[in-house]
Amino acid sequence: MNLSFLNRTLPLAITLIVLPQAFAQDLETSNLAPADAPQSALWQKIQPNFSPPPQWAGKFGDYPSPLRFADGTQVKTPADWKRRRAEIASQWETLLGKWPPLITKPQVEILDTQRRDGLTQHRIRFAWTPDQHTTGYLLIPDGDHPRPAVLTVFYEPETAIGQGKPNRDFAIQLAKRGFVTLSIGTSEASATKTYSLYYPSIEDANVAPLSMLAYAAANAWYVLADRPEVDSNRIGIVGHSFGGKWAMFGSCLFDKFACAAWSDPGIVFDESRESVNYWEPWYLGYHPKPWRKRGLITDSNPARGLYPRLTAEGHDLHELHALMAPRPFLVSGGSEDPPKRWEPLNHSIEVNRVLGYQDRVGMTNRPDHSPNDESNETIYSFFEHVLKPTPN
């Protein structure tokens, strides 16, 4: 893993944290680049995005520090963080619901195969929950050596392979850059406007739907890791909007993703923004049907389910961001994630500082929600820099 911009190393023993089953237990840091590794041209290009602008440096907003234990004591050392991290993970698993067992030995059916753009595209089918299968696209560049991979997530899998709106074609663009990619999406749920995954049923879900999407992403990680063309230590995840929320929860709740890019999901709760809608039933506000009317929270249309409890107890998503440390992540911010989001991100920077790391948290900003050529180029450069092997 070419983490040459992470110019300090952390003993592996510190990062192997015993977590509840819903959270993977392996953080791969044994192959981090040494402190004297040369800076790549890619890193020089994206480096300005990995520190807050001066007006946001050192500002933490009203977000409680994840470096403070539930009993009020302060995290001061990596050993402290190991215990605090487990505490956060346990708290969130209790809130979100316990995952079913992961599907670690996937059975993958290849439905059809075609050649395109110097790569092989398989349409595949596999189980992503204990009782549901999904269809996605596996894109494999030519070559005979294991390579890095990226999972892409969205409303359906076709957009990411280039059959949808522009600048959301992450899977095909990354495959052209030498990554194995797997594109998945909630096609059937999107068609019925239920959008998410409900376990064990939509009538009586006992895991928050957004957490079940993260669970499905974890199972897709095993599909990629099982491929001979993939280096399982070098698998990332990316998504935009709905997919950005999915990618964020997937990477934060499942440690085997080596890195992540989240495109304008709304990285924290914000009840003034209709698209930062974690209160909806398909995210964190699940309740049995009939569902609340879609839209902003009002007195006549209140949030229900888990979401009001999360906000009443003072939780926010910066606590989950902290679970990424020391893995790097990039926020590709648009209208829902403006520069002010450096306030919650600064908390993750502080967690990495305790662990002895820097330059692990990045953000770009654009005025519009939709990705553009420039923002996507930073995403692709980020994955190339982080996941591709360092040249000899």
Complete DSSP assignment for 163-218: SSSTT--HHHHHHHTT-EEEEEE-HHHHHTT--S--SS-TTS--S-HHHHHHHHHH
For residue 3, being part of any structural domain is answered with: no
For residue 392, being part of any structural domain is answered with: no
Domain count, the chain: 1
The CATH number of residue 119's host domain is: 3.40.50.1820
**What average pLDDT score do residues 22-33 get?**
36
**Per-residue confidence band for 6, with pLDDT thresholds at 50, 70 and 90:** very low
Closest Cα partner for 19 from 83, 114, 104?
83
Residues 119, 234: contact at Cβ < 8 Å? no
**What average pLDDT score do residues 22-50 get?**
59
Label the pairing between strands 132-141 and 180-185: antiparallel
Inform me whether the pLDDT recorded for 47 exceeds 70. yes
Inform me whether the pLDDT recorded for 36 exceeds 60. no
**What average pLDDT score do residues 266-280 get?**
98
pLDDT digits (tens, 9 = 90+) for 155-175: 999 999 999 999 999 999 999
For residue 196, being part of any structural domain is answered with: yes
Q: Residue 174 corresponds to which tokens in the numbers above?
A: 């990354």
Indicate the range of 59-63, 83-87, 322-326, 385-389 predicted with least confidence: 385-389
Q: Could you give the percent of the chain with pLDDT greater than 90?
A: 87
Inform me whether the pLDDT recorded for 29 exceeds 80. no
Inform me whether the pLDDT recorded for 59 exceeds 90. yes
For residue 4, being part of any structural domain is answered with: no
- Tell me how far CA of residue 3 lies from CA of 9, 44, 69, 286, in angstroms: 10, 13, 30, 38
For residue 6, being part of any structural domain is answered with: no
**Per-residue confidence band for 40, with pLDDT thresholds at 50, 70 and 90:** confident
Residues 360, 327: contact at Cβ < 8 Å? yes
Q: Is the whole-model pTM more than 0.85?
A: yes
Output the pLDDT for position 391. 59
pLDDT digits (tens, 9 = 90+) for 336-355: 999 999 999 999 999 999 99
Q: Which residue has the higher pLDDT, 303 or 23?
A: 303
pLDDT digits (tens, 9 = 90+) for 214-255: 999 999 999 999 999 999 999 999 999 999 999 999 999 999
Q: 3-state DSSP: the chain helix, strand, coil percent, rounded to 5?
A: 30, 20, 50
* pLDDT, the chain, mean: 91
For residue 70, with 0-12 CB atoms within 10 Å meaning exposed, 13-18 middle and 19 or more buried, which class applies?
Answer: exposed
pLDDT digits (tens, 9 = 90+) for 115-155: 998 899 999 999 999 999 999 999 999 998 999 999 999 99
For residue 330, being part of any structural domain is answered with: yes
Output the pLDDT for position 137. 98
**Per-residue confidence band for 88, with pLDDT thresholds at 50, 70 and 90:** very high
Domain ranges, residue 204 = 12-387
